[in-house]
Every structure is written in structure tokens, then in C-alpha cells.
Amino acid sequence: MEYSLWTREIEDDIIPHCRELGIGIVAYSPLGIGFFGGKAVVERLPNESVLSSNPRFTGENLEKNKVLYARLANLAVKHGCTPSQLALAWVLHQGKEIIPIPVIKLWFCLKMELKSEIQIPRVKLGSQGLEVTVLGFGCMGLSGLINAPLSHEAGCSVIKEAYKRGITFFDTSDAYGQKRDNEIMVGKALKQLPREKIQLATKFGFTISEDGEFGVKGTPEYVRECCEASLKRLDVEYIDLYYQHRVDTSVPIEDTMGELKKLVEEGKIMYIGLSEPSPDTIRRAHAVHPITALQMEYSLWTREIEDDIIPLCRELGIGIVAYSPLGIGFFGGKAVVESLPNESVLSSNPRFTGENLEKNKVLYARLANLAVKHGCTPSQLALAWVFHQGKDIIPIPGTTKVHNLVNNIGSLAVKLTEEDLQEISDAVPVNEVAGERDEPFILKYEWKHANTPIKTISD
């Protein structure tokens, strides 16, 4: 029997009768003759297609039915799946005696439907020996900033779910959380997980004065003070990867690195990282002690590091950890933009406000259209694009919702050719991105302004 979200006439008579007599039901056209397979089904119908004369696919009827598809697509984002997956899941949940038989012509569509149990590979991060999962988890958002903060119990549940699904690389900082307590939350979660299987990254360097002013500090004394405090908050004996969160441009990087090197020798940290350093700072720091990884913002709409930073890292054998790989959540879906709470930091981000936001929505729409072609969600396509930039680039998207976590893991099933990557890059050209990537008081600490004083003999 034909049975789908938009063809349900059999529910009142046929299904009850079959259940009474013990007769199974095989549902043909469970995706509505392909309608719920995506926009491309409708927009690319060949003239000879039988659907070109189907009443639901023509004229005013088609326009009305597109509204139904749009509603389903919005719900699919919420559930971290494609519209077709949600439509098919609905059929599967109507009863074990109902067996859908969708027709899938393209292999990538079938592959996307079967991606629920994905094994997350492991790779070397940098050249110093640290091994991590190719997808990390950024814990910052669990303590608020973009959305409302989670309780420690709820945050721990998300972290444990990420581990259960194969992620072992977790990122935090002593600056995260309204009470700067993100490390405490992460530490509580780690107590419920096998520590030896976790790669824990945290950071130091940001300061906040009593009047709320941001600053950066990288003196040797402060490096040690912060490390000792992080070890205590996390309640661990060592930190796998310890980053300088932002470079202190008043302190020679050799001084900062010298103290970090001592912490490695003492076994308090295993590997050293930097976040947002300049090329000159990278070379000088690496000469003191090998840098394992840089944490840099990198996504479809933030690609400034491609010309200088990425080539330098590859020359020196330094890995790259990409923060905000979904464009601070922009490519996570329309709901990210349309439901931002007033207290969200994004409400003052240049790319999420006024005319800039309207321009950037055009870029999202282009990506969404390409996602339909690839049988995935826009966020999966954006994340897959990052994965395909190189095995030395590890994205660490964060989320407060398990369905988004599952969606992010699903991006590993999206395979892209060089032509696909170019098409995606062209759909979101960086010269069309409206607005700076952050507010001025943050941008002054970005890598372009992160040179440090030359260390003299007298120093």
C-alpha cells in the first residue's frame, strides 16, 4: 500500500484490519514519490518524468506542498538528520509490521541513510606523538555564551554521550563559563570516564579585571599559576594539550614557552599548543620547544589562515585544531539565527547583526541547496568541507544537544571530491561574507596582531 507522511488514508481502515488479521504492510513510496527526498527532486524533474503530470507536483499544488517540505526540513535540523531521514523514520515508527521500500537510485543517498553507527577514526595531531579522534568536542558552549548554560549534571551527560559515540578529544579553557567553571564541569565528567583514553585540552592566558576588561598575560609566573589552578579545577594529574589562549604581545614568546617547557618536563602537561599566534611567534616558539597544535578559527566563512598559517604548520609538523568550524554555529541551521537569546554573544557579533546577517543568509541558502544534493544537512556539509581540507586539521564543534552531536558525527559519512569542495567553496566565497569574524576587543588579539618582543641577551 502507498503510505507516507502525505498519504495516510489507510490508517483508518486498512491498517487496523491488517493488524486484526495478522497481515503485514509493505509501504511503497514512503518518501511521497520522492517529494520528501529533497528540493532537488522537485527542481530537477525531467520533462519525461511521470511526476511532471502528478497533481501534487504541478502548479499551485506544488507551491502549497513546498510549504509542507519546509516545515519538515526545519524539524530535521532539530533532529540532526535530513528531511528524507525524518520522513522515513516517521514511517518506521508507525509499527513493526509496516515495512517501507524506498527506491534509492544514487549510492550516496543510501550511504547517508546508513550512517547512524559511524566509527570515528584516530589520527596523529602534530608530529610529537599525540593521537586524537578526527572529531573533537568543544566544551565552551556547555557553559553558555551562545545559548543558556547547562547545569553541570546536564553538561556532563553531553560529554559522556560524546565519549560513548566515539569522541575522546575534549577542549576547555580556564576562561570558559560565566563563573569560569567550565573546567570544573569537564573534570566532573572525566571522573566518570577512563582518563587514560581521553585527550584533554585546556588553555590559559585570558585575564578579566574587576571592571570586566579583557586582557592577556603570558609571564612565566602566570603560566605556572594558571596550570596549577587548571589541574586543581579539572581534578587531574596532567593535561594532555595545554594552549596559550592568546599571545601576550608584551612578553617575549621565549619566556612563555620556557615555562611551558618546564611544565612538560615536570609531567604536568604532555604537549604544548598556541591559539591565534602570528607566523613569527610560531617559529620562535617552536624553536624553544616543539609545538604540537595551533587552535585557530577555521570554517567555510573564516579562511584567512589558508595562505600563511596552514602552510607554515605543515612545514613544521604542527597540527591545527579548528574552533568554530560551523561558523560560530551559523551553518548549524536557520534555527541558530532565528532563536538567538538576547544574552547570546552572537547578538553583537558583526556577522549576525542587521544588514550583514541578511547578506550572510544568502550564503547559508546556497549551502543548504548543495546539502540536498549530497543527501545531508547543511551543517554536515560545512563540517565535511573542513574535514576534507587535510588530515592535520581537527574540528572541535560544540553543542548542548545530543541530536546536534549525532548530526556532527554524521558529517564523517559525507565524502566529497575535489570538484565538490570547489563547488562548496564557491557557494560561500569569503569575499561575500558580510562582517568581521568578531568584535574589535577580541580581534585585537587575533593572529595578525600577535607578534611578541624580541628577547634580548639582557632578558
Sequence-ordered list of residues with C-beta below 8 angstroms from that of 109, at least 6 positions apart, any chain: 37, 84, 375
Give me the long-range contacts of 152-157 (CB less than 8 A, separation at least 24).
152/181, 152/184, 152/185, 152/188, 154/400, 155/185, 155/189, 155/400, 156/185, 156/188, 156/189, 156/192
- Angle, helices 279-288 vs 253-265, to 10°: value is 40
Q: State phi, psi for 98 to the nearest 5 degrees.
A: -105, 115
Cα distances (Å, whole numbers) of residue 310 to 30, 278, 420: 46, 12, 21
Cell 565552551 found at: 140
Which amino acid appears at position 235 of this protein? D
Residue 451 CA from chain centroid, whole number: 29
Strand partners, 302: 299
Which pairing describes strands 206-208 and 214-216: parallel, antiparallel, or unpaired?
antiparallel
Grid cell, residue 117, equals 553507527
Q: What angle do CA 434, 439, 444 make, to 5 degrees?
A: 115
Q: How many helices (H) and strands (E) does the chain have?
A: 17, 14
Would residue 176 show up in a list of annotated catalytic residues for this protein?
Answer: yes
| Side-chain-facing half-sphere of 216: CA atoms under 13 Å | 24
Grid cell, residue 411, equals 558529517
Which amino acid appears at position 114 of this protein? L
DSSP-derived letter for residue 282 is: H
B/e letters for 28-48, b = 16+ CB within 10 Å, e = fewer, are: ebbbbbbbbbbbebbeebeee
Q: Which of 3, 69, 163, 176 is catalytic?
A: 176
Q: Catalytic residues, which ones?
A: 176
